[in-house]
């Protein structure tokens, strides 16, 4: 097992990456759980695959699990589910010092973390991420949120977990499309500031995606360490450092909004497309060699992630996508800073991007005939 220490402003917690942590959840959480009823928020798919294992481990240790099983999918990150889940926690008399378990992907982690942030002005929670995306990204760093009709993650809080248990075994039941979506956030760390890791991804993605355990552990542990390092420098995204983690997301969130936060486009797929667009837009501005931008697109397409927004057949134009972007949380006095690249591993925040030029660029991409 790899243990990655996270230390955010003197508030340390561990991210444990290994195999069998879910079956051993009671021991992993020893000393953190109350006896009378351990609140676990999950979704229907995760409960079907891993609910019995969690139940057995907790009961064997003398705990009584209390399950809240939500519908799977992005629509669960909503005001309605937030209100209902908080009321459920109140009915079960969860106290500030108690831990809630978030057992699931990023949807469950974001929603449960937000419940924990607002319940009694803040109680504790444990992230048990069950998707690759949640293991490498959403379970670490304390961003919690729900979506609103205006856009993605527009209501939320920064609230760090007490512990993260990333069990590689749970990825065995994850559908291939979801594994790929999570992989987009892995590649992101290479593109941000680690060109060697991008090369590692090019060389090992296929084996990692097929389930090679050594590569899976490397991908998860390396990603978590990268995220922990960045978040430790800028927990509340105020200096521009943490904003690097948003590479691909301004485009990606706009695409998610345009597709109605539906299963038509998963978050990780939107990020994959967004990173290709960020690379190509950087090349359009002369910041990055276009051959290097195409290296990004080639890798994204080679693993089986979407790399073409034309293929989405959105039926909208660039201006429509830019209008979604106006809800981006990075908006600052009417301008939208963009994550652009001076090369692979050389991402930076650019505050001089003209949105009408982005719209014109997107019009070309929406009509682009793939090679």
Ligand X SMILES: O=C(O)C(=O)C[C@@H](O)[C@H](O)[C@H](O)COP(=O)(O)O
Ligand Y SMILES: NC(=O)c1ccc[n+]([C@@H]2O[C@H](COP(=O)([O-])OP(=O)(O)OC[C@H]3O[C@@H](n4cnc5c(N)ncnc54)[C@H](O)[C@@H]3O)[C@@H](O)[C@H]2O)c1
222 marked as binding residue? no
Within 8 A by CB and 6+ apart from 180, the residues are: 209, 268, 269, 303, 304, 305
Q: Encoding tokens for residue 140?
A: 């670490």
Candidate segments 175-183, 207-215, 243-251, 309-317, binder of ligand X by CB under 6 A: 243-251
x/- binding map, residues 135-164, to ligand X, per CB under 6 A?
--x---x-x--------xx-----------
- Position of minimal CB gap to ligand X: 153
Can 227 be counted among the known catalytic residues? Answer: yes
Phi first, then psi, for residue 260 (nearest 5°) are 70, 30
Which contiguous run of DSSP H or E holds residue 59?
helix 44-60
Residue of 185, 256, 269, 365 marked catalytic: 185
Partner in contact with 242, chosen from ligand X, ligand Y, none, beta carbon below 5 to 8 Å by kind: ligand X
Question: Secondary structure of the chain: what % helix, strand, coil (to 5)?
Answer: 50, 20, 30
Dihedral in degrees, nearest 10, Cα atoms 194, 195, 197, 200: 180
Angle (CA) 254-44-133 rounded to 5° is 45
Total Cβ atoms within 10 A of residue 71? 11
130 marked as binding residue? yes
| Choice from 6, 33, 41, 45 touching ligand Y (CB under 6 A) | 45
Candidate segments 42-50, 57-65, 239-247, 275-283, binder of ligand X by CB under 6 A: 239-247
Q: Where do the DSSP E strands lie in the chain? A: 2-8, 11-18, 38-43, 65-70, 99-104, 124-129, 143-148, 151-158, 163-167, 338-341, 347-350
Partner in contact with 174, chosen from ligand Y, ligand X, none, beta carbon below 5 to 8 Å by kind: ligand Y
Partner in contact with 131, chosen from ligand X, ligand Y, none, beta carbon below 5 to 8 Å by kind: ligand Y
Smaller CB separation from ligand X, 246 or 347: 246
Q: Encoding tokens for residue 98?
A: 């108690």
Within 8 A by CB and 6+ apart from 232, the residues are: 6, 7, 8, 9
Can 267 be counted among the known catalytic residues? Answer: yes
Can 249 be counted among the known catalytic residues? Answer: yes
Please tell me whether residue 110 binds ligand Y under the rule CB under 6 A.
yes
Residue of 227, 280, 299, 324 marked catalytic: 227
Please tell me whether residue 160 binds ligand Y under the rule CB under 6 A.
no
Please tell me whether residue 329 binds ligand X under the rule CB under 6 A.
yes
x/- binding map, residues 200-219, to ligand X, per CB under 6 A?
--------------------
Candidate segments 192-200, 244-252, 256-264, 312-320, binder of ligand X by CB under 6 A: 244-252
Dihedral in degrees, nearest 10, Cα atoms 171, 271, 9, 41: -50
Which has the closest alpha carbon to 249: 166, 324, 144? Answer: 324
Residue of 159, 253, 299, 330 marked catalytic: 253
CB of 251 to ligand X, least distance (A): 11
Dihedral in degrees, nearest 10, Cα atoms 279, 259, 45, 114: 80
Smaller CB separation from ligand X, 98 or 328: 328
- Position of minimal CB gap to ligand Y: 106
Residues binding ligand Y (CB under 6 A)? 43, 45-46, 49, 72-74, 77, 104-108, 110, 130-131, 133-134, 137-138, 141, 143, 153, 170, 173-174, 178, 181, 185, 267-268
- Judged by the rule CB under 6 A, the positions of this chain that interact with ligand X are 137, 141, 143, 152-153, 185, 242, 245-246, 249, 329
What are the residue numbers of the active site?
A: 121, 143, 185, 227, 237, 242, 246, 249, 253, 267
């Amino acid at each position: 097992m790899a243990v990655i220490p996270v230390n955010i402003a003197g508030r340390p917690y561990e991210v444990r990456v290994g195999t069998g942590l879910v079956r051993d959840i009671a021991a992993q959480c020893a000393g953190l759980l109350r006896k009378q009823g351990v609140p676990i928020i999950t979704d229907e798919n995760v409960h079907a695959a891993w609910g019995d294992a969690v139940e057995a481990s907790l009961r064997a240790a003398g705990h009584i699990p209390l399950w809240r099983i939500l519908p799977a999918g992005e629509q669960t990150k909503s005001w309605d589910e937030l209100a209902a889940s908080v009321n459920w926690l109140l009915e079960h008399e969860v106290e500030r010092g108690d831990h809630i378990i978030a057992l699931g992907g990023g949807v469950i982690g974001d929603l449960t973390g937000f419940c924990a942030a607002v319940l009694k002005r803040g109680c504790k929670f444990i992230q048990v991420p069950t998707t690759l995306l949640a293991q490498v990204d959403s379970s670490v760093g304390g961003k919690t949120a729900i979506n609103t009709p205006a856009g993605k993650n527009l209501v939320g809080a920064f609230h760090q977990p007490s512990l993260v248990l990333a069990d590689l075994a749970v990825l065995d039941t994850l559908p291939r499309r979801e594994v790929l979506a999570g992989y987009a956030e892995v590649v992101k760390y290479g593109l941000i500031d680690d060109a060697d890791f991008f090369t590692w991804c090019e060389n090992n993605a296929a084996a990692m995606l097929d389930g090679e355990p050594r590569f899976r552990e490397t991908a998860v542990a390396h990603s978590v360490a990268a995220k922990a390092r960045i978040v430790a420098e800028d927990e509340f995204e105020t200096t521009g450092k943490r904003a690097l983690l948003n590479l691909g997301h301004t485009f990606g969130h706009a695409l998610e909004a345009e597709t109605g936060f539906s299963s038509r486009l998963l978050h990780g797929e939107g990020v994959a497309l967004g990173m290709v667009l960020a690379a190509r837009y950087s090349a359009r501005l002369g910041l990055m060699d276009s051959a290097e931008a195409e290296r990004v697109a080639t890798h994204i397409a080679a693993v089986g992630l979407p790399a073409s927004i034309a293929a989405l057949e959105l039926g909208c134009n660039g201006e429509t996508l830019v209008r979604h972007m106006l809800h981006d949380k990075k908006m600052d006095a009417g301008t939208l800073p963009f994550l652009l690249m001076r090369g692979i591993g050389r991402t930076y925040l650019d505050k001089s991007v003209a949105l009408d030029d982005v719209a014109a660029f997107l019009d070309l991409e929406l009509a682009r005939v793939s090679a």
